Chain A
Amino acid sequence: MENSRRDFLKIAGISALAVAGAEPVLNAFASEHGEEASKAAGFQKEEKALTAKQWAMVIDTRKFKSAKDLEPIIEVCHKIHNVPDFSKENKRHIIKWIWEEEYKHAFPGDASGFTDERIEHLPFLVLCNHCEEPPCVRACPTKATFKREDGIVLMDFHRCIGCRFCMAACPYGSRSFNFRDPRPFIEERNPQFPTRMKGVVEKCNFCAERLAAGQVPACVEASKGAIAFGDLYDPESEVRKLLKSNYTIRRKAGLGTGPTIYYIV
């Protein structure tokens, strides 16, 4: 908590600088439809909004002991984002933005059979990696999935035609499809966030709506300091400091997608 609040203040300060000085640079890096996209996503930028060149996360798995520690993190994300619960209905239709996986599934190909016991049984949090070179964005035929100027891979639920090309393209299984109307399966609706209709894809949005209001992502807040969030291209950011002083791994880094979720193991 301490950490993330400090980080947030720093980010706010730097973003003010960025707006004042580095605007053209940022623009040069912005994707072709960055502005249109952020409008489409419906999150107006406020003054207190947090900005970055590429948001990233560092998950310190040493701070998690069991699946119990992850539950509140997963729950808060799904709750505030109106993610329906199909676990009791039909497992085929399940939708998840962030969930836990064993090491051998989160990092298939890296598991050896002689992994140390802590790692072997440790639950790993997995979510959209907000890849720097996202194959899902490349595949989408309508730009309903797009990379925003702050690196977040966002979705426009009103443009998505439900072709699911992005699901085939994502090498991490980060995306879910609304196989039916999700609304009856939302226990408690959060009026601050849109619900989805059937026939569209969805996934973690790095809490773009919270960043716009100057807040860090909900999972970061709920992690009690185990998840750090910040700008990957700001050498002073907390994520960069952690990356400098810890050995980290990323999921399937060899594919060149540039995942921005880093794990300290």
Chain B
Amino acid sequence: MLELALKGSKKYYGWVAVLLGGISVGFAVYLWQLNFGLGLTGMHRDVSWGFYIAQFTFLVGVAAGGVMVVLPYYLHHYKAFGKITILGEFLAISAITMCLLFIIVDLGQPMRALNVILHPTPKSILFWDMIVLNGYLFLNIIIGWQVLEAERNAVAPPKWLKPFIYLSIPWAVGIHTVTAYLYCGLPGRGFWLTAILAPRFLSSAFAAGPALLILLCLIIRKMTKFDPGKEQIQSLAKIVTYAIIINVFFLLCEVFVVFYSRIPEHMDHLTYLFYGLQGHSALVPWMWTSMSLMGIAIILLLIPSVRANESLLAICCVLVFCGTWIDKGLGMISGGFVPNPLHQVNEYAPTIPELAITLGVYATGFFVLTVLFKIAVTVKEEAAA
């Protein structure tokens, strides 16, 4: 089926060229980083994980979010989603691709990455994260490909695929849970040391993933002859609404516990993020923007007529996506490192090379997404014709 990705319109080629350009810039800067070391980034002794790991965390969520179309279709026999499960699975593949790349570009010695397998260490959550992420990638490649091939040949997907599909549903929850466990099991990092972290990660994932999927559906409808469907988009919108409300609720639970108990190790990080600490407040405007975006999105999404209007819905999805991105892709990681374990404030900001590499990874992910969606949509168009 891969050949389907080779034939396309001028616009398609143009977009692919833009992505390839982004990939090459990112790759060139990465070679520089490989040569110089991670000193090229804004990270330092105190904030030892930065933009890369934050993007990784956010994108694990996007990948897990794909399950929100798979689950209703296979477990609740919600037939409408049958049309778009493939989009959820392919979105997951591209998001996991980006996750793995972000891990690689964050390693100080990427050539030794295989040490994680050569010296397996089950006590380390990173070991499990590697297993669940690669497993999820593998599951989605198998499922996505088989389902699409079956559709192309106008036959039912093979029977042996069913167990893989059922497995992929808890597995999606697993990838984001394990990713949260990377952070929330560390003593002395009060910001992450909370049992609500994994649920929070999941709820923001189930908001951000489907929100992106709605936007992609709208784009596909505009650019191709395949219509993902009005009902499908509306059902996704409900999922986004529930998830973003739950996400904000979980956040408020955390805020209550932290500020009512007033234990400094837990409180200082949130104080830093939302009010600034010892005169340092780089993230304050970002965090309030994030809160406003999510708050406005909730109010709008709760109004049925707004949700039903697809242009307004698209705006809501952008708000949800940006709000959760700031929350996770900016605040979640550096917020945990500031103040440091000695209660000193050393802020972090990404450098330009760091952003260039980040863009390169995103370009790679969107390249994978474009190619996969192109194949899926072409198959759908052919089937309809």
Contact = CB atoms under 8 A, between A and B. Distances in A.
Question: Do A and B truly interact?
Answer: yes
Interface of A: 90-95, 101, 104-106, 108-109, 126, 135, 138-144, 159-165, 167-173, 176-181, 197-201, 252, 255-257
Contact of A199 (B38, B115, B123): B38
B385 to A, nearest CB: 49
B49 interface: yes
Contacts, number: 149
Interface residues on B, range: 35 or more
A139 B189 contact: no
B106 A256 contact: no
Interface string B108-132: 1110110110110101111100100
B265 interface: yes
A179 B341 contact: no
Given A139-B124, A161-B113, A171 B341 contact: yes
A183 to B, nearest CB: 12
Interface in B33-56: 36-39, 41-46, 48-49
A111 to B, nearest CB: 9
A169 B189 CA distance: 8
Contact of A180 (B39, B109, B121, B126): B39
B345 to A, nearest CB: 11
Contact of A168 (B36, B123, B186): B186
Nearest to A105: B342
B121 A141 contact: yes
A140 B108 contact: no
Contacts of B342: 101, 105-106, 108, 126, 172-173
A170 to B, nearest CB: 7
B66 to A, nearest CB: 26
B170 interface: no
Name the prevailing secondary structure of the A interface residues: loop
A161 B337 CA distance: 21
B265 A109 contact: yes
Contact of B340 (A140, A173, A200): A173
Contacts of B41: 179
A9 to B, nearest CB: 37
B37 A198 contact: yes
B105 to A, nearest CB: 11
B269 to A, nearest CB: 13
A179 B43 contact: yes
Among B43, B121, B183, B337: residue with most chain A CB under 10 A: B121
A105 to B, nearest CB: 4
Contacts of A173: 45-46, 340-342
Contacts of A93: 39, 44
Contacts of B116: 141-142, 161
B8 interface: no
Given A141-B116, A199-B108, 8 more contacts: A92-B44, A135-B186, A139-B125, A141-B115, A159-B119, A161-B113, A164-B49, A257-B187
B38 A177 contact: yes
A39 B126 CA distance: 25
A135 B182 CA distance: 12
A3 B110 CA distance: 46
Interface in B1-44: 36-39, 41-44
A99 to B, nearest CB: 10
B267 to A, nearest CB: 12
B124 A140 contact: yes
Nearest to A162: B108
B280 interface: no
Nearest to B34: A199
B187 A177 contact: no
B124 A141 contact: yes
Contacts of B113: 161
B49 A168 contact: yes
A85 to B, nearest CB: 14
Contacts of A256: 187
A82 to B, nearest CB: 17
A159 B115 contact: yes
Contacts of A176: 45
